Amino acid sequence: MWNPPMARGCQVPPGATGFHRARGGQTLALTVAPIPAIWRPSIPWWRDGPGQAAAAGDAGHERVLAVLLHGDAAFAGQGVVAETLNMSQLHGYRTGGTVHVVVNNQIGFTANPVDTRSSPYCTDTAKGIQAPVFHVNGDDPDAIAQVVDLAMDYRQQFHRDVVLDMVCYRGTDTTRVTSPATPSPCCTRRSRNMPPWPGSTATSWSAMGLPSG
């Protein structure tokens, strides 16, 4: 495991490696990329995908999968995202298809979308490489599971990037300055009156006669 120096004043993920044993008995090696500083993205680190794939004997990109997590404002606003997408099919930079998961709380870093981008969706950057984008309700675990299956099928079939836009909301305040109620008071008021997704999912499963405990 690589532990880079911590950024002063900010607690940032140092990265980690480990193994996960699936129900079927398969062992999956996992690596969480380090983030050297809170404003310094880890995307370029993942663009060593060809090297990692070669080290794992995965020239066909069947055994090594890159999954990148983004915020909605970061996906639309960080130039490194567009650059990475543009390089995704270039020889020497291919990863066999990266799965991009956008946690879309609709206010980015405390600003409404109308004040942060000119496009309707935060994922419109991916249109430049014709990557499919799946918009899904972040409060619906069943829908998310289905979309993940679709995204994985696409990646494994075509070995190209695919994007999951998980539309949700920010329910807690980081500080008073970054409260979601500042840019979006109506949405925040409604979201705080919504039941947490575990309870609403259990209710819907019970209505369908499925186990919910």
List, for residues 101-154, the tens digit of each pLDDT value.
Answer: 999 888 776 677 777 788 889 999 999 999 999 999 988 888 999 999 999 999
66-71/133-137 β-pairing: unpaired
Rounded to the nearest 5 degrees, what angle is found at the Cα of 78, between the Cα atoms of 76 and 81? 85
Residue 45: the pLDDT is 56
Cite the beta strand spans of 33-181 per DSSP E.
66-71, 98-104, 133-137, 162-167
Question: Rounded CA gap, 22 and 38, in Å?
Answer: 32
* Domains of the chain by start residue, with CATH: 56-205 (3.40.50.970)
pTM, entire model? 0.76
pLDDT at 49 over 60: no
Question: Rounded CA gap, 205 and 185, in Å?
Answer: 31
| 3-state SS assignment for residue 89 | coil
Q: Phi-psi category of 61—alpha, beta or left, where left has phi over 0 and alpha has psi -120 to 50?
A: left
Q: Find the length of the chain.
A: 213
Nearest one of 94, 96, 114 to 106, comparing CA atoms: 114
Which one has a higher pLDDT value, 204 or 165? 165
Q: Phi-psi category of 133—alpha, beta or left, where left has phi over 0 and alpha has psi -120 to 50?
A: beta
Question: Rounded CA gap, 198 and 165, in Å?
Answer: 20
| 3-state SS assignment for residue 31 | strand
Question: Rounded CA gap, 99 and 152, in Å?
Answer: 8
Dig out the tokens for 203 from the structure. 């209710």
Q: How confident is the model at residue 197 (pLDDT cuts 50, 70, 90)?
A: low
